[in-house]
Amino acid sequence: MNVGERIRQIRIHKEFTQGELVSGICSITYLSRIENGQIKPSTSFLEKVAEKLDVGYKFLVDADHEDVEPKLLQICEKYKKEKIISEKDLSLLELYVRETNSIPLLLKAYGTLIYYHARNNNLKYIETIVEQASQLIPNRVETKNSDDFIYYLMARGHYYYYKQDNITAQEIYVQIESLLGVEESVQHADVYYNLSIIKQRLYQDQSISRLYSTKAYELYKKLNMEDRVIDTLIILALQYHLDKLHDKALETLKQAELGVNSTSNSMYFPIISYNYAKIYQGLKDYTNAIKYYEKSLQLSEFLHNETDKVYTLRSLIEIHIEFKDWENVNRLMDDAFKILAVQDVPYAHVQLYSFKATIFKLRGDYYGYEKEMQKAIEMGLEKKQYTLVRELATELGNHFYDNRAYKMSAKYLKISVENSLN
């Protein structure tokens, strides 16, 4: 890649127009001729542009300079250990992966980039990065690169997990499980934990997800990883709840709460409250359910990702629909859609459209019910929420059948069957 093309790519990456980049330096025409390879830039021009683009002069002139690769490896190793990376280093990685052919470096760099953006919920931004990585990185690598390959795959799994593309995430974690050695390590525990959540989302019967949760719990406990033990107990409690084993769910959640009290990690306070609320809602003890949901909302400032509030709002909406408390339903629905306007939370988003459909149905507006259900199903298919699509399509198909709209009934019952996983 010549220097002009490199300037153009960095400029676009940094979101500069040609005019913004060369303001006070030279004319737009001069820059355009450099970017098109028609003329060679002067040293003075390159120094000024490098400063404005916040990249090193050497990187701008020759991205393959021998000093660059060791620095990139250092950036990746630091992020892997400390989960810290500067904007400048992040930008350097994004630019360099376009030019290197080194598989070890590609694995480390893409692993770092995908992990960073997935953890920070920049899912739209990294779509192209994930796609780019899949085009450049082979499905198998040499044994000496297997650790970096697993790290890269874990990052991809993390991305699809947060995107709630559960089918793809499951495929990736199963692949990782097959690559791990016999001696169990923290990587094994992480894969067991991730698979337990993915299988929880995909299948109605939670026995397999509980099996993976238990394996993860035992291994984290053996490794003395207190926070991960708490995480796993919370997930295990939810899985007992989903199988309507409420006593076991409460017992397991209390065990998690004891762990939280001993560590005093405030991040867990809203999560524990939310899960108590879920169990009480399952027991139809709505008084306690509302109390714990509202407590969870009050503590939401401690959440790592504030978008998780949408799940609490969703559950409160469900209860208030049951009570036919429309004032609270409308208020909570507005709060939830404000979050969804700026953050993508696919499962909750689809559910909320189905709740809107339910409200139309309760008011006797069957046309409105059908339209909102169709919208929910379309969104569910687009966002790959297949379990939810199956439930909603079955409900809508039966509705059309009861109203003798047999063609529409067949359409949605077919969608239900096509999205069955069990």
pLDDT, tens digit (0-9, with 9 covering 90-100), for 99-133: 788 899 999 999 999 999 999 888 888 998 999 99
Which long-range contacts does 398-401 make (Cβ < 8 Å, 24+ apart)? 399/369, 399/370, 399/373, 400/370
* Predicted pLDDT at 172: 96
In this predicted structure, which of 83-92, 220-229, 334-343, 387-396 has the lowest mean pLDDT?
83-92
- Confidence label for 222 from pLDDT (cuts 50, 70 and 90): very high
* Predicted pLDDT at 221: 96
* Structure-token pair, residue 244: 């309507």
Which of 71, 158, 64 has its CA nearest to residue 111?
A: 158
| pTM assigned to the model | 0.78
Residue 207 to residue 200: CA distance in whole angstroms: 9
The mean per-residue pLDDT over the stretch 137-150 comes to 92
* Predicted pLDDT at 422: 45
In this predicted structure, the answer to whether residue 64 has a pLDDT above a threshold of 70 is no
Residue 380 to residue 389: CA distance in whole angstroms: 6
DSSP conformational letter for 145? G
Residue 309 to residue 211: CA distance in whole angstroms: 28
Within its chain, how far is the Cα of 100 from the centroid?
A: 27
Choosing among 3.90.1150.10, 1.10.40.50, 1.10.260.40, 3.90.650.10, the CATH entry for 3-65 is: 1.10.260.40
pLDDT, tens digit (0-9, with 9 covering 90-100), for 353-372: 999 999 999 999 999 999 99
Within its chain, how far is the Cα of 153 from the centroid?
A: 14
Query: Are 113 and 81 within 8 A, CB to CB?
Result: no
- Confidence label for 301 from pLDDT (cuts 50, 70 and 90): confident
Residue 77 to residue 2: CA distance in whole angstroms: 29
Rounded to a whole number of angstroms, the distance between the first and last alpha carbons of the chain is 51
Residue 246 to residue 118: CA distance in whole angstroms: 33
* Predicted pLDDT at 62: 67
* Predicted pLDDT at 291: 97
Q: What percent of the chain has pLDDT over 90?
A: 65
**Alpha carbons within 13 A on the beta-carbon side of 170:** 16
Residue 195 to residue 169: CA distance in whole angstroms: 8
Greater model confidence, 95 or 382: 382
pLDDT, tens digit (0-9, with 9 covering 90-100), for 156-215: 999 999 888 999 999 999 999 999 988 889 999 999 999 999 999 999 899 999 999 999
* HEC per residue, 254-297: HHHHHHHHHHCCCCHHHHHHHHHHHHHHHCCCHHHHHHHHHHHH
Domain 344-422 classified CATH 1.25.40.10? Answer: yes
* Structure-token pair, residue 31: 């820059």
Boundaries of every domain in the chain? 3-65, 272-335, 344-422
- Confidence label for 10 from pLDDT (cuts 50, 70 and 90): confident
